[in-house]
Amino acid sequence: MSRFLGSVRARATLGASVVVAVALAAAGAAVLLSLWSNLSGQAGTQAERTAREVAAELAAGRGYADLSLDDEDQPVQVVDGAGRLVAVTEDLERISGTGVARVKPQAPAPVGADAADGRQKGGTGGPGEREAPEERDDAGDRDDAGDRDEPEEPEESDDDSLEVGEIGDASFGDGSATVDGETADYRFATVPVEVDGRGTLTVHAGAPLTAEQEAVSTALTVMLIGFPLLLAVVALVTWLVTRRALRPVEGIRREMAAITASEDLTRRVPVPDTHDEVAMLARTTNETLAALEHSVERQRRFVADASHELRSPIASLRTQLEVGAAHPGLLDVDGAVEDTVRLQRLAADLLLLARLDAGERPADARFDLAALVRAEAAQRGGDRVPVSVDAESVPVAGSRGQLARVLGNLLDNAQRHTRTSVAVTVRREGRWAVVEVADDGAGVPAGERERVFERFVRLDEARTRDDGGAGLGLAIARDVAVGHGGSLTVREAAAGGALFELRLPSA
């Protein structure tokens, strides 16, 4: 299971399915609630219409026995002011939710009692109906005590001041009823009506909720069947779309695995003909492979050149020592010392390049660049051409030893190629400290001005080992300049030779 979920395609499919499932569940619940609310409202409207029709008949003076209560689908109860069930739908066997549990009509109270009760509740009674109201009420209560069920807290009308013939506002509730042996749930509407001579009567009418329940049940069934199918379709489509979208990624993975196995950095991953993130990934991967190929090739070339450069002084030194051991009189001590010094300088250059390639950060010392230039020029009293210095004070921060090495390499290069003079200038230029080393030699051809900074590169005029080193001086100088946040470039000097310009951030 964990391996399956480790796939991007599986996680995307699962995530999309969960989101769609939650959305479908929320939408289904909202639809069912809305459907039930609308259908229940329609049933309430139907029940209220029936209750008002019966109330209108009562207000018109129709007798209880003459009321239109023959609709078996809509149970109706008529209750007088004393709580007696005076009229009810035929074949009603059980009812709940109206506050009156009786299903058989009771005899109406005597007219005088009704009138008195009607006056107590706001109704009107005739003058001939006033004698001994208390006795009639007591007698009526005693007679009904054994025949009447206790009402289930009948709903009271909010309107206590109805005029004769006026029908009050309806109130609603839910319940159930059994009519002619069939039990169903109903939405009941309760409507009060003021009837002349009878007081306030209450009409309870119900509308069946069977159709509403069936509609909701049907909708629920459709959802329970349709939603899983829709969810399965969403999962399948997501799986297929994700598989198609990730197919180029799989091609990139296979090609990278083949490159790793073969160690052939000349190969490239396929780039899909799209403009999406996968195509950008493929292009970036190819750029990385190209940079890695260049780095590895540069490293191989560096190792090969270093091996070649080290082999020559070591072989020469060994030959001289072997000859000296066999023939002490023929030992060339000066040559052996020269080869040893050359070997020492080459090893130092290689170690410095290795540290620079490893990302060694320069020291954060603060010093005057002009003073450093003057000190470096003063140590070169044995140069074949004198060095002139024109420097203004500019503070810089970095490694004093590395920058001294840069200046020494630039002066060595100028001494090898100049004819009559070497000039060094130091000046401030905005936020930069600029050092220029110019000679009046042959200069550097425009096409070779970047190549001279590559490692182990010597132009044709500098190929003789008697005059120069291994071709690492300018490469080291540029790497140190870049490591200090600056740059090193070459252009033509005013005298026609080469002018090397070192730029460093001023402190």
Output 486 or 115, whichever has higher pLDDT: 486
d(CA 362, CA 260) in angstroms, rounded, equals 35
**Contact of 414 with 422, CB cutoff 8 Å:** yes
Token duo for residue 359: 């990302």
Output 161 or 450, whichever has higher pLDDT: 450
Partners of 428 in the β-ladder? 433
Output 114 or 363, whichever has higher pLDDT: 363
**Residue 295's pLDDT is what?**
81
Identify each DSSP E strand in 431-507 by its residue range: 432-439, 487-492, 498-505
d(CA 475, CA 469) in angstroms, rounded, equals 12
What number is the average pLDDT over the span 117-128?
Answer: 37
Q: Rounded to the nearest 10 degrees, how much is the dihedral formed by the CA atoms of 132, 137, 142, 146?
A: 150
Output 138 or 401, whichever has higher pLDDT: 401
**Residue 2's pLDDT is what?**
54
- The highest-confidence range among 160-169, 232-241, 292-301, by mean pLDDT, is 232-241
Structurally, at CATH architecture level, domain 277-357 sits in Orthogonal Bundle (1.10)
Predicted confidence band at 312 (pLDDT cuts at 50, 70, 90)? Answer: confident
What's the predicted TM-score (pTM) here? Answer: 0.49
- Given a cut of 60, is residue 482 above it in pLDDT? yes
Alpha helices in 146-209 (DSSP H): none
Radius of gyration (C-alpha) of the chain in whole angstroms: 54
d(CA 16, CA 230) in angstroms, rounded, equals 12
- Given a cut of 70, is residue 148 above it in pLDDT? no
d(CA 315, CA 323) in angstroms, rounded, equals 12
Q: For the chain, what percent of residues have pLDDT higher than 90?
A: 29
pLDDT per residue as tens digits for the range 45-81: 998 999 899 999 888 888 888 888 876 678 999 998 8
Predicted confidence band at 146 (pLDDT cuts at 50, 70, 90)? Answer: very low
Cα angle 29, 30, 31; round to 5: 90
Predicted confidence band at 117 (pLDDT cuts at 50, 70, 90)? Answer: very low
pLDDT per residue as tens digits for the range 187-240: 999 999 998 888 889 999 998 888 888 888 899 999 999 999 999 999 999 888
d(CA 224, CA 216) in angstroms, rounded, equals 12
pLDDT per residue as tens digits for the range 458-468: 765 444 444 45
Cα angle 248, 249, 253; round to 5: 115
- Given a cut of 60, is residue 30 above it in pLDDT? yes
Predicted confidence band at 26 (pLDDT cuts at 50, 70, 90)? Answer: very high
Helix-helix angle 400-417:369-378, to 10 degrees:
50
Nearest of 389, 402, 419 to residue 360 by alpha carbon: 402
Write down the mean pLDDT value for the chain: 81
Residue ranges, comma separated, of all CATH 1.10.287.130 domains in the chain are 277-357
Predicted confidence band at 1 (pLDDT cuts at 50, 70, 90)? Answer: low
Q: Which long-range contacts (CB under 8 A, 24 or more apart) does 131-137 make?
A: 136/109, 136/110, 136/112, 137/113
Torsion sign across C-alpha atoms 191, 195, 200, 201: negative
Q: What is the amino acid identity at position 28?
A: G
Task: Give the right CATH number for 365-505 from 3.40.50.10860, 3.20.20.60, 3.30.565.10, 3.80.10.10.
Answer: 3.30.565.10
Residue ranges, comma separated, of all CATH 3.30.565.10 domains in the chain are 365-505
pLDDT per residue as tens digits for the range 334-361: 878 887 888 888 888 888 888 887 777 8
- Given a cut of 70, is residue 158 above it in pLDDT? no
What number is the average pLDDT over the span 130-155?
Answer: 38
**Measured between alpha carbons, how far is residue 184 from residues 94, 98, 314, 376, 440 in Å?**
10, 14, 111, 110, 115
Q: For the chain, what percent of residues have pLDDT higher than 70?
A: 86
d(CA 130, CA 135) in angstroms, rounded, equals 11
Predicted confidence band at 428 (pLDDT cuts at 50, 70, 90)? Answer: very high
